[in-house]
C-alpha cells in the first residue's frame, strides 16, 4: 500500500494508531471526514480503546454528517465526547444527547464549513480524514464522501490521514471547490448538475501532516428495505404530480431532483425505474443511495451530484467493479456546494424530504419527537426545502403502528416553516399548498393527508378553532397539543 503515498516526503509519516492519536488529548477539537460514508475508523477505535483502558478525556467532534456506530456509536459509548456537531443518527449518541451528556447543536449542513473557516467553532486542532491516496504533489483523494473535509484539511493544525484500501479508481469522482467567504464573494459557478468547477483532489499542506495510517476497515453498510406499500404510494403521487405539472407547462422536464435519506427517499428514485415519462433525469442531492446506481444502469441518469455515495453491500460491489462507468455520471462535492442555497435555487431543484410530523398549516418538525427528544438532526433538509423550485415534505401518515399521527394540529417543534413547504404528501394523498390560504391548507391536509383514524379529530379541532378563535391561522392554543398529551398519557393518540 505504500505506493498510495505518491508524495515521497510523506512516507516518513507512516505510523500506527496509538502513536498517531497521541496528539488528541482532553479538550481537543477533532474534525473528521465522513458524511454517512468515508469516515476514519482507526483513530476513533483507538480513542475508544484509551477510554476503556481508564484514561479520562473529552473531545469535541465535528464531522460532515452522520458516521454511524463505527465512529459516533463507539465514541459516544466510550464517553469521550463533550460536543458533537452536526447531524448524527446513532442510537447511543442520540440517547446521550437527549440526557444532556453530550452537547449538540443542530446546523444546516451547508453552513458548517463556512463557520469553521470563520473560526466560530474554535481552532481546528486536529483533522482526521480518510483518503484512497496522496498524489504526487501531496494532495488527497477522498473516498466515498466529501462533506466538510476540504475545509477541515485547510484549517486543521495537525492532520492525520487514514489511507483506505478502497479502489484507487475513485480518483476523478470528486470535484473540490471551496467557495469564497463573505463579504464580496463571487458566485459558485454551477449551472447544471454535472458541472465540475474545482479540482479532483483536496489540497493539503504536507507540513501539517502528523501521521499516516493504513486502514482496511470498511464503512458500515446501510440496509435499505424494498419500498413498502406506504413508500411506494408516496413516491407514485410525487411522480404523478410532477408529470402533471410538466404537461401543463408549469415545470420544466429538466429540473434536477433531490431526495433525502432513508426508504421513502429510495422509493421515490426507484419509482423512476418503471416510469416511461421520465426518460433521463438529473440528480442534485446530498446523499446518493443504491437507487442512483440502478437508474444509471438503465440509462436514466444524465448526471448525479451529491456529497456522498452511501451504498449497500451489494451495490458497493457493483460500483467498485465498474467505477470508470459510474464516474462519468456521478460527481461528489463538498456539502457546502451540494447543499448550497445559491446553487439549489439557481438549478431549480425538486426537493423531497421526510418529516417526523407536519401540522395542518404546513409547519414541519423533522427533528424532535414529541417536541423534546432529538431524532437525528435537520441535515440538509432545510437547505433544500427552503430553496427548491418545488419543495415536497413527505411522511407516512402514522408512526408506531398507528398510535401516532404524523399530521397534528400544531407541530411540537419547528424546523421548516409553512413558507418553505410547497407540497405535503402522505400515502393517503398530496396537497399542493402553493395557491391555498392557510385555512384552505388545513382543510386539504386533514382531508387528504391525515390517516382516516385521525381525520375526524383533526377536523373537529379545526372547526372549533375557526368558531371559537378565528384569525388567519385559527388555533385553540390550550388544546393545540391534545393529541400529543393523549399519547403521553395513554401511549396512543387515539381515544380508548
Ligand atoms: O422509529 O426507529 O424506533 O422505528 O422515527 O422513522 O419511518 O423509519 O423513517 O428513517 O425516513 O426517518 C424524519 C427521522 C424519518 C428522517 C426522519 C419514528 C419512527 C422510527 C424513523 P424507530 P421511519 P426514516 C438529508 C435529509 C431529517 C433530516 C433530513 C430524518 C423513526 O428522515 O432524520 O431530512 N429527517 N435529512 O417510528 C414519533 C413521530 C414519528 C416517529 C417517525 N411522529 N413520532 N416517532 N417516527 N415519525 C439527509 C442528511 O442530511 C444526511
- Compute CA distances 475 → 411, 471, 486, 495, whole Å: 12, 8, 18, 21
What is the phi/psi pair of residue 491, to 5°? 80, 10
Residue 262 has pLDDT above 80, yes or no: no
Nearest ligand 1 atom to the CA of 265 is 11
Determine whether 68 is exposed, middle or buried from the number of CB atoms within 10 Å of its CB (0-12, 13-18, 19+): buried
Q: Which atom of ligand 1 is nearest to the CA of 35?
A: 51
What DSSP state is assigned to residue 447?
A: I
Q: What is the pLDDT of residues 102-129, one digit of tens each?
A: 999 999 999 999 999 999 999 999 999 9
Give yes or no for residue 273 having a pLDDT over 90: no
Note the pLDDT of residue 433.
98
Kindly state the cell numbers that stand for 433. 399548498
End-to-end CA distance of the chain: 64
Question: Is 52 a residue whose pLDDT tops 90?
Answer: yes
Task: Please work out whether the CB of residue 366 comes within 6 Å of at least one atom of ligand 1.
Answer: yes
Evaluate if residue 269 carries a pLDDT over 90: no
pLDDT tens, residue by residue, 177-205: 999 999 999 999 999 999 999 999 999 99
Distances (CA, A) of 377 to 90, 220, 322, 427, 475: 11, 20, 34, 24, 28
Q: Tell me, what's the pLDDT at 267? A: 86
Q: pLDDT over 90 for what percent of the chain?
A: 93
The closest of 397, 404, 401, 393 to 449, measured between CA atoms, is 397
pLDDT tens profile 133-171: 999 999 999 999 999 999 999 999 999 999 999 999 999
Q: Among 77, 95, 109, which Cα is nearest to 378's?
A: 109
- Which residues are CB-contacts of 233 (< 8 A; sequence separation ≥ 6)? 427
Decide: 381 in ligand 1 pocket, CB within 6 A: yes
C-alpha 247 chain-centroid distance? 31
Mean pLDDT score, 130-135: 98
| Segment 63-80 mean pLDDT | 95
- For the segment 280-284, the average pLDDT, to the nearest whole number, is 96
**Ligand 1 pocket member 357 (CB < 6 A):** yes
Q: What is the pLDDT of residue 270?
A: 86
Q: For a ligand 1 pocket test, name from 261, 369, 485 the mutation site with the most ligand atoms within 8 angstroms of its C-beta.
A: 261
In the reported structure, the alpha carbon of residue 261 is separated from the centroid of ligand 1 by a whole-number distance in angstroms of 9
CB 32 within 8 A of CB 67: yes
Beta carbon of 405 within 6 Å of any ligand 1 atom: no
To the nearest 10°, the Cα dihedral for 295, 296, 302, 308? 90
Instruction: Supply the residues annotated as catalytic.
Output: 286
In 10 A of CB 171, how many CB atoms?
16
Q: What is the DSSP string of 53-108?
A: TT----EEEE-SS--HIIIIIHHHHHT-EEEEES----HHHHHHHHHTSSEE----
- Determine the Cα–Cα distance for residues 96 and 206; give it in Å rounded to an integer: 37
- Contacts of residue 38, defined as CB under 8 A and 6 or more positions apart, other chains included, come to 64, 130, 142, 143, 144, 145, 146, 147, 149, 219, 308
354 lines ligand 1 (CB under 6 A): yes
* Residue 412, SS3 per DSSP: coil
Query: Which H or E run includes 319?
Result: helix 313-321
Q: Which atom of ligand 1 is nearest to the CA of 263?
A: 11
d(CA 376, CA 353): 13
Please state, in angstroms and as integers, the Cα–Cα distance from residue 261 to each residue in 104, 140, 309, following that order.
21, 27, 11
Q: Which atom of ligand 1 is nearest to the CA of 375?
A: 14
SS3 135: coil
What is the predicted pLDDT for the residue at 152? Answer: 98
Q: How would residue 211 be classed by pLDDT, with cut points 50, 70 and 90?
A: very high
User: What is the mean pLDDT of the segment spanning 447-455?
Assistant: 98
Give the mean pLDDT of the chain. Answer: 96
Cα-to-centroid distance, 57 and ligand 1 (Å): 32
Closest CA to 185 of 177, 194, 175, 193: 177
Q: Which three cell numbers stand for residue 93?
A: 449518541
pLDDT value at 282 more than 90: yes
Smallest CA separation from ligand 1 atom 38, residue? 369
pLDDT digits (tens, 9 = 90+) for 390-445: 999 999 999 999 999 999 999 999 999 999 999 999 999 999 999 999 999 999 99
pLDDT in tens, 346-368: 999 999 999 999 999 999 999 99
pLDDT number for residue 330? 98
CA separation for the pair 128, 211 (Å, rounded): 9
ipTM associated with this complex: 0.97
Other C-beta atoms lying within 10 Å of the C-beta of residue 229: 8
Higher-confidence position of 345 and 222: 345
Q: Is the CB of 262 under 6 A from ligand 1?
A: yes
Largest CA distance in the chain: 77
Alpha-carbon gap, residue 190 to 193, rounded angstroms: 7
pTM score:
0.97
Amino acid at each position: 500500500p505504500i505506493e498510495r503515498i505518491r508524495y515521497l516526503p510523506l512516507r516518513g509519516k507512516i505510523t500506527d494508531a496509538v502513536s498517531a492519536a497521541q496528539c488528541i488529548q482532553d479538550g481537543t477539537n477533532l474534525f473528521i471526514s465522513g458524511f454517512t460514508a468515508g469516515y476514519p475508523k482507526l483513530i476513533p477505535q483507538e480513542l475508544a480503546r484509551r477510554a476503556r483502558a481508564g484514561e479520562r478525556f473529552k473531545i469535541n467532534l465535528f464531522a460532515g454528517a452522520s458516521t454511524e456506530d463505527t465512529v459516533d456509536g463507539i465514541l459516544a459509548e466510550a464517553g469521550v465526547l463533550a460536543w458533537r456537531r452536526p447531524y448524527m443518527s446513532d442510537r447511543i449518541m442520540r440517547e446521550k444527547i437527549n440526557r444532556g451528556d453530550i452537547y449538540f447543536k443542530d446546523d444546516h449542513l451547508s453552513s458548517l464549513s463556512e463557520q469553521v473557516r470563520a473560526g466560530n467553532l474554535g481552532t481546528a486542532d486536529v483533522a482526521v480524514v480518510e483518503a484512497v491516496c496522496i498524489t504526487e504533489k501531496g494532495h488527497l483523494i477522498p473516498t466515498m464522501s466529501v462533506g466538510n473535509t476540504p475545509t477541515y484539511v485547510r484549517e486543521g493544525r495537525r492532520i492525520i490521514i487514514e489511507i483506505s484500501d478502497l479502489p484507487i479508481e475513485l480518483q476523478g469522482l470528486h470535484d473540490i471547490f471551496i467557495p469564497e467567504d463573505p463579504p464580496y464573494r463571487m458566485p459558485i459557478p454551477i449551472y447544471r448538475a454535472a458541472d465540475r468547477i474545482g479540482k479532483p483532489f483536496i489540497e493539503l499542506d504536507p507540513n501539517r501532516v502528523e501521521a499516516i495510517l493504513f486502514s482496511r476497515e470498511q464503512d458500515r453498510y446501510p440496509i435499505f428495505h424494498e419500498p413498502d406499500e406506504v413508500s411506494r404510494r408516496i413516491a407514485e403521487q410525487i411522480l404523478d404530480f410532477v408529470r402533471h405539472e410538466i404537461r401543463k407547462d408549469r415545470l420544466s422536464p429538466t429540473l434536477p431532483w433531490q431526495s433525502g435519506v432513508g426508504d421513502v427517499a429510495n422509493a421515490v428514485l426507484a419509482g423512476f425505474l418503471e416510469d416511461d415519462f421520465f426518460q433521463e433525469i438529473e440528480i442534485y442531492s446530498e446523499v446518493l443511495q443504491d437507487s442512483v446506481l440502478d437508474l444509471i444502469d438503465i440509462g436514466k441518469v444524465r448526471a448525479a451530484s451529491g456529497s456522498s455515495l452511501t451504498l449497500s453491500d451489494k451495490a458497493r460491489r457493483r460500483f467498485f467493479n465498474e467505477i470508470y462507468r459510474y464516474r462519468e455520471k456521478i460527481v461528489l462535492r463538498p456539502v457546502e456546494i451540494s447543499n448550497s442555497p445559491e446553487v439549489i435555487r439557481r438549478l431549480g431543484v425538486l426537493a423531497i424530504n421526510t418529516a417526523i410530523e407536519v401540522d395542518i398549516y404546513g409547519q414541519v418538525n423533522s427533528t424532535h419527537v414529541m417536541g423534546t427528544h432529538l431524532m437525528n438532526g435537520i441535515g440538509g433538509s432545510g437547505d433544500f426545502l427552503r430553496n427548491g423550485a418545488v419543495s415536497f415534505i413527505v411522511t407516512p401518515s402514522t408512526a408506531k403502528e398507528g398510535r401516532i399521527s404524523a399530521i397534528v394540529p400544531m407541530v411540537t417543534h419547528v424546523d421548516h416553516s409553512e413558507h418553505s413547504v410547497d407540497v405535503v404528501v402522505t400515502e393517503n394523498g398530496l396537497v399542493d399548498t402553493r395557491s391555498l390560504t392557510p385555512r384552505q391548507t388545513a382543510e386539504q391536509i386533514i382531508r387528504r393527508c391525515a390517516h382516516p383514524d385521525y381525520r375526524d379529530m383533526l377536523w373537529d379541532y379545526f372547526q372549533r378553532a375557526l368558531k371559537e378563535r378565528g384569525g388567519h391561522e385559527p388555533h385553540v392554543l390550550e388544546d393545540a397539543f391534545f393529541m400529543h398529551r393523549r399519547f403521553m398519557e395513554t401511549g396512543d393518540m387515539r381515544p380508548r
